[in-house]
Amino acid sequence: MIPRQFLITTTILFALTLGMSVYVWQLRRHEIATPRPPNRVEHVAPPTSGPMEQVTVYVAYDDPGELRAQSISIPIASGRQQRAEGLLQALVGIYTAKGSTHPLTAGAEIRQVFLVDPGMAVIDLNSAFVDGQVSGVLAEELTIASLVQTLATNVPALTRVKILVDGKERETLAGHVDLSGFYDVQQIAELVKQLSPQ
C-alpha cells in the first residue's frame, strides 16, 4: 500500500510541474508575439574631453587630386586597436564635415579596425561609406590611399591592410578600385608620393 504522505507530495509536485510548464509556454508565446528591435551596432563616440595626442592624417583633395598630410588632435585611447579606430574615425569625420575636400555622406563610418599580428590591419567600413563614395578611379584611389597611409603612419610595423564593407569582402570600393586583395603598405607609400603636392 502506498503511504498517504507520498501520494500528497507526488500530487503537489505534479501540479507544480504542470503549472510551470503552462507559465513557460505563455512566456514563449508572448516573446514570439512581441516584435524585437533589430540588432544595431552602436558606436561609442570618442570622449571629447581628456588628454589628447597629435597625429598625422592624410587628407584627400578631389580638386587637384592630391593627398596632403595634416596634423590633428585625437583623444588618447587605452589600446592600440582603439587608437587605430579613433584615428580613422577622426579622418572620416573630416570627410563627412560640411565643405569637405573629399566629401562622404553623413552616415559614413569606420565600423571597426582589427590589428592582426604580424603587421596586418583590417578596416571594416559601413555600407553608407561606400554608397556615398564618388565613383571614379582617382576618387576611389584617394580614399584608399588616405585610409591606408594614415593608419600606416600611426601604427608601427604595419605591412598590409585589408578593407571590408559591413564585415564582408567586396570586389570594388565604388565600381573601380579593387578591394579583393590586400594593400601593401609600401606600394601605397609610393603612390602617396605621386599623389602629394609637387
Which residues form the interface with another protein (CB under 8 A)? 62-65, 134-139, 141, 144, 172, 174-178, 180-181, 183-184, 186-187, 190-191, 194-195
CB nearer another protein, residue 19 or residue 65:
65
- Cβ nearer to another protein, comparing 100 with 172: 172
Residue 163 beta carbon to another protein: minimum distance, rounded to whole angstroms = 11
Pairing of strands 110-116, 182-184: unpaired
Q: How near is the Cβ of 168 to another protein at its closest, in Å?
A: 18
Minimum distance of another protein from residue 49's CB (angstroms): 39
Longest dimension (CA), the chain: 104
The SS3 assignment for 167 reads coil
For residue 47 the three cell numbers come to 570622449
How far the first Cα of the chain sits from its last, in Å, is 104
Contact 180, 83 (CB under 8 A): no
Question: 61-74: b or e for each residue (b if 16 or more CB lie within 10 Å)?
Answer: beeeebbeeeebeb
Judged by CB, which is closer to another protein: 85, or 141? 141
Distance (Å, whole) CA 40 – CA 183:
29
**Which CB atom, from 17 or from 186, has the smaller least distance to another protein?**
186
Shortest spacing between CB 121 and another protein, in angstroms:
16
Q: What's at 172, amino acid-wise?
A: T
Residue 117: CB atoms within 10 A of its CB come to: 6
Minimal distance, residue 67 CB to another protein, in Å: 11
Between 87 and 148, name the residue whose CB sits nearer to another protein. Answer: 148
